[in-house]
Amino acid sequence: MNAESSDPRAELGRRIDAVESGYEFLLAYAAQGRDTDRGPGSGRGVREFLESMQAALDGLAPVARDCAARRGESVADVAGAFLEALERDAETARSAVRLVLAQPDISSQLVDNLNASIHLRALLTDLFIVDEALKERKVRSR
């Protein structure tokens, strides 16, 4: 995912979608009681979703900062501290995803623990806030 290849707001949206859809897939995977993601009919797809999440989280904060800056200096100033928190949360969540991906077997229990991680949950909440706060709003005329 390359922030320079497209509109920053669209890029942010793609990254948020990758994290959210990955999390939803992981919830379903965790409920399946699998011991491994390997083998026929097993948890195929879990690694792909985790890899997409990892890619979406890599460089997420600069994309969000660019979106804030395009909204104006006052928005960028107000958002600064929060975007620093987003950066920390994204990096911590990305590290957790990388740790899961490094395992030879990805069990439902491991994924359930990742889903329950306060780091991933904080990141999701950060993304909900950023997504709403940085939307371009059209001013309605009377």
pLDDT for the residue 72: 87
Structure confidence by residue, pLDDT tens digits, 3-47: 445 699 999 999 999 999 999 999 999 999 999 998 766 567 999
140 pLDDT band (50/70/90 cuts)? low
- Work out the average pLDDT over 109-136: 94
Contact between 36 and 105 (Cβ < 8 Å): yes
Does pLDDT of 1 surpass 60? no
- Given the candidates 1.20.1250.20, 1.20.120.520, 3.40.190.10, 3.60.15.10, the CATH classification of the domain at 7-133 is 1.20.120.520
Residues in the chain: 142
- Work out the average pLDDT over 99-111: 96
- Work out the average pLDDT over 79-86: 95
Residue 64, classified by CB atoms within 10 Å of its CB into exposed (0-12), middle (13-18) or buried (19+), is buried
pLDDT for the residue 3: 43
50 pLDDT band (50/70/90 cuts)? very high
Lowest model confidence (mean pLDDT) among 41-55, 62-76, 77-91: 41-55
Q: Which residues contact 50 (CB under 8 A, 6 or more apart)?
A: 22, 26, 97, 100, 101, 106
The CA-based angle 117-120-122, given to 5 degrees, is 105
Show me where the domains of the chain are located.
Answer: 7-133
Structure tokens at 98: 């990388």
